[in-house]
Structure 1
Amino acid sequence: MISLLHELAEITDADLLARHVAGDEHAFEVLFTRHRDRLWAVALRTMRNPDEAADALQEAMISAFRRADSFRGQAAVTTWLHRIVVNACLDRMRRNKVRATQPMPDNPDHDPTLAVAGDLQDEFSDKETAADVARALASINADQRAALVLVDMQGYSVDEAAAMLGCAPGTVKSRCSRGRARLAPLLAHLREDG
């Protein structure tokens, strides 16, 4: 089993997907493992809630697993996977029609995520800034938020984001521009403080 997984790790994404479609029971696992960190980051930044992001990512991977035979090879497999994740997030947000928030820990003094070395004031400021950004992102529409997450937060090019979102590059540019324009007044205090 270990040697089989090692062998599969050396295969391209497209070949792994083809093997999965042909019935290889381990190929999709290797493909997902290869890209899970970036897929998780996209889901988490899009949903802004770990539980919702986990559910969206799971829905996306089930969809990709079942629809692997629909992959036409017009884009990279990773682009196809990211598009499925973004679409699952957008679908979930539309279904929920609820603005997700990040829950505060019951006991912040014992939360290991808060026990980061460094000045407590800086830590508080960083968390406050992250909360401000999350609230501002929650105030813009889901399409603009998805474009901004992919381009500004994940570092994808406009063309890559367009492929993931299934729209034209000009649409991504427009969504980013409108989203940034809506965020600017909401986050202006961060520039003044910095």
Structure 2
Amino acid sequence: MVRRAVDGDRDAFTELVRRHERRVFGVTMRMLGREQDALDATQDAFLTVFRKLDQFRGDSAFTTWLHRIAVNACNDILRKKARQPMLHLAGEDDRLPETGPPVPDHAGGVAGAIDVDRALLEVPEDFRAVLILADVHDLAYEEIAEILAIPTGTVKSRLHRGRLALAQVMGLETDRSSREHAAPAPPSEEP
């Protein structure tokens, strides 16, 4: 399919978009947190793929190349937003919905997913990308390293730090923090 698209077959390219658009949108939505921004990044990513498809060498999987383009599109939008003052018009609120305090839902579910998605937006950008690619899209360390153009060791480090940061944002205790902050055991009263 990729080879046909590279050779100029527009139907093959349309099929590639159809196969991958939901996954790319999932990455962009979790990276950016706003539907319109995610749609823009998804569109930018596929436009870039269309323009540069002839440059795809096949050294890595097509999905790896596509994810890298999508992450770069998100980073471009985040950089633009950092330079612009925030103006949010009434009726334009397409951010993740407010749900109030987290709902105790040990099985996950929609409320838990929304809370995690919202918490991901509070995690530093470098950690967020690794968390999304590893824990949401279940990519291997090596593939994430290739997508983000960083060493595999950096992926592992950012994933660990990102998980700690996410747990902190969500108000969850990690094994490490609970050991560090645990109160000393009371003296035992033996008769």
Q: Same-fold call, TM > 0.5?
A: yes
Q: Deviations over 1:5-54 (max 9, x none)?
A: xxxxxxxxxxx333333322222111111222222222222222221111
**Which residue pairs with 1:69 in the alignment?**
54
* Identical positions, percent: 40
Residue of structure 2 equivalent to 1:171: 154
2: CA distance between counterparts of 1:81 and 1:55? 15
Using the TM superposition, give the Cα deviation of residue 162 of structure 1 relative to its aligned residue in structure 2, in angstroms: 1.6
Q: Which SS does the other structure have where 1:26 is aligned?
A: helix
Aligned residues: 161
Q: Which has the larger radius of gyration?
A: 2
Deviates more, 1:178-187 or 1:47-56: 178-187
Q: Pick from 29, 48, 51 the counterpart of residue 44 of structure 1.
A: 29
- TM-score for both structures, normalised by structure 2: 0.71
Aligned with residue 120 of structure 2, among 118, 130, 137 = 137
Map 1:1-194 to 2 at 5 A.
16-97=1-82, 102-104=95-97, 129-189=112-172
Quick one: structure 1 residues 78 and 134, their matched pair in 2 at CA, closer, same or farther if it must change by over 3 Å? Answer: closer
Name the Cα RMSD after superposition. Answer: 3.0
4+ runs deviating over 4 angstroms: 98-101, 125-128
> Structure 1 length as normaliser, TM-score?
0.70
The offset of 1:129, in angstroms, is 3.8
Alpha carbons of structure 1 residues 182 and 17: separation in structure 2 relative to 1, 3 Å: same
Alpha-carbon distance between aligned partners in 1 of 2:95 and 2:110, rounded to the nearest angstrom = 11
Give the structure with the larger helix fraction: 1
How many Å apart are 1:149 and its aligned residue? 0.5
AA at the equivalent of 1:92: I
* Unpaired segments ≥5 residues, structure 2: 87-92, 175-191
